[in-house]
Amino acid sequence: MNIQRWIARRELNWKRLDELLKQAEKKGLKSLRGEEIRQLASLYRSVSADLARARTNQVGETLIQSLQSLATRSYSQIYQGSRRQEWQAAWRFYRWGFPAAIQRNAGCVALATALFLLGAVVAWWFAWRDPVFMSLLVPGELIEKVRDRGELWMGSIVGIEPVASSGIMINNIAVSFKLIAGGISAGLVTLYILVTNGLMIGAIGALVGQNKLAFPFWAFVLPHGALELPAIFFAGAAGLLIARAIVFPGKYRRIDALRLYGLEAAQLVYGIVPMLILAGIIEGFFSPNPNIYPLIKYITGIGLFSLLIAYCGQRHPEQHLQSEE
């Protein structure tokens, strides 16, 4: 290869790439026109090939370093812009997209919530009156601890908060994904998990109520439950959407209904993961903390739930404009 001729042929491209990079670095990638951005991407690929050729032919350390610098700067601008767009898309989804998905699927969310609450009320009613029924739902050692020793069991978290918090997160996320995947069974597994979880909380509520431990128990549950339980209901709604596509595809072909309702379910899934992570942190570090007064825990839980309701009920400014028109 004639190195001098090759350099002379390629040098104009390197200079043009340097000019585009200087403008992008000074004023941002958005300052470039669409054609210039396409040119920047093309020149980046070209300079990467030139760098490989320069190294192969040992054209000189100074030129290799110059080409390496151009390639690195180009990569930074192109992919930093892509990452910025990804962050902006994520922000828009959590700011407006997730609440909109909840509002569009409010019927499934309400049904999932009702199934859980039905199980809770039924279990509380029968467990309060029948110790045998309670023993079918609540582990014997837990009943013994509460009824015979007058103690709650959450103190075991104290001292192992990081481990407990991560374990709680993993468990809650696993339950949520079982609820979602349960939609494939025409919703039967989703219904079963929602009702059985409701039965469990209802029976435990009866147990602590009978033994005068309801106030500290609900002080523990409320702070993280304000996020964790709604996240479970949203996951249940996602599972019910998949079941709807299978059982009641309506005017769509079943495969098209799965695509449509699957997309709605996916949006609910993306939204609940941060909720479950935050709930796990609260349940591991805040809820069982004996140094925090129960009243503060109640206020925290009510405050978080109120904020969640306000967040889920918000509408995009464009929706307000459309409704006014």
Residue 86: Cβ-neighbour burial (10 angstroms; 0-12, 13-18, 19+):
exposed
Q: Token pair for residue 230?
A: 């709604």
Q: How far apart are the C-alpha atoms of 204 and 177, rounded to whole Å?
A: 24
Is the pLDDT score of 173 beyond 70?
A: yes
- What is the H or E stretch that residue 175 is in? helix 161-181
Is the pLDDT score of 320 beyond 80?
A: no
Q: Which residue has the higher pLDDT, 56 or 226?
A: 226
Q: Residue 323: what pLDDT?
A: 45
Q: Residue 322: what pLDDT?
A: 42
Please report, rounded to a whole number, the percentage of residues in the chain having pLDDT higher than 70: 90
Q: How far apart are the C-alpha atoms of 227 and 258, rounded to whole Å?
A: 28
Q: Residue 190: what pLDDT?
A: 95
Q: Residue 159: what pLDDT?
A: 53
Q: Which residue has the higher pLDDT, 236 or 74?
A: 236
Measured CA angle at 243 (ends 238, 247), to 5 deg:
155
Q: Residue 321: what pLDDT?
A: 40
Mean pLDDT, range 10-22, rounded to an integer? 86
Predicted confidence band at 200 (pLDDT cuts at 50, 70, 90)? Answer: very high
Supply the mean pLDDT for the chain: 85
Which range in 143-157, 161-175, 228-242 is most confidently predicted, on average pLDDT?
228-242
The CA-atom distances, in angstroms, between 227 and each of 39, 82, 92, 270 are: 48, 32, 21, 15
Q: Residue 309: what pLDDT?
A: 95
Q: Token pair for residue 126?
A: 């029968």
Mean pLDDT, range 311-318, rounded to an integer? 77
Which range in 86-100, 129-143, 260-274, 293-307 is most confidently predicted, on average pLDDT?
293-307
Predicted confidence band at 192 (pLDDT cuts at 50, 70, 90)? Answer: very high
Each residue's pLDDT tens digit, 268-280: 999 999 999 999 8
| From 127-136, 159-168, 301-310, the region with the lowest mean pLDDT | 159-168
Which range in 69-78, 137-146, 304-313 is most confidently predicted, on average pLDDT?
304-313
Q: Residue 80: what pLDDT?
A: 66
pTM for this model (two decimals)? 0.72
Q: How far apart are the C-alpha atoms of 124 and 143, rounded to whole Å?
A: 15
The CA-atom distances, in angstroms, between 190 and each of 2, 153, 169 are: 70, 28, 20
Q: How far apart are the C-alpha atoms of 69 and 201, rounded to whole Å?
A: 61
Q: Which residue has the higher pLDDT, 210 or 173?
A: 210
Mean pLDDT, range 216-233, rounded to an integer? 93
Q: How far apart are the C-alpha atoms of 30 and 49, rounded to whole Å?
A: 26
Please report, rounded to a whole number, the percentage of residues in the chain having pLDDT higher than 90: 40
Q: Residue 163: what pLDDT?
A: 53
Is the pLDDT score of 12 beyond 70?
A: yes
Each residue's pLDDT tens digit, 74-110: 877 777 655 556 677 778 888 888 999 999 899 999 9
Is the pLDDT score of 162 beyond 70?
A: no
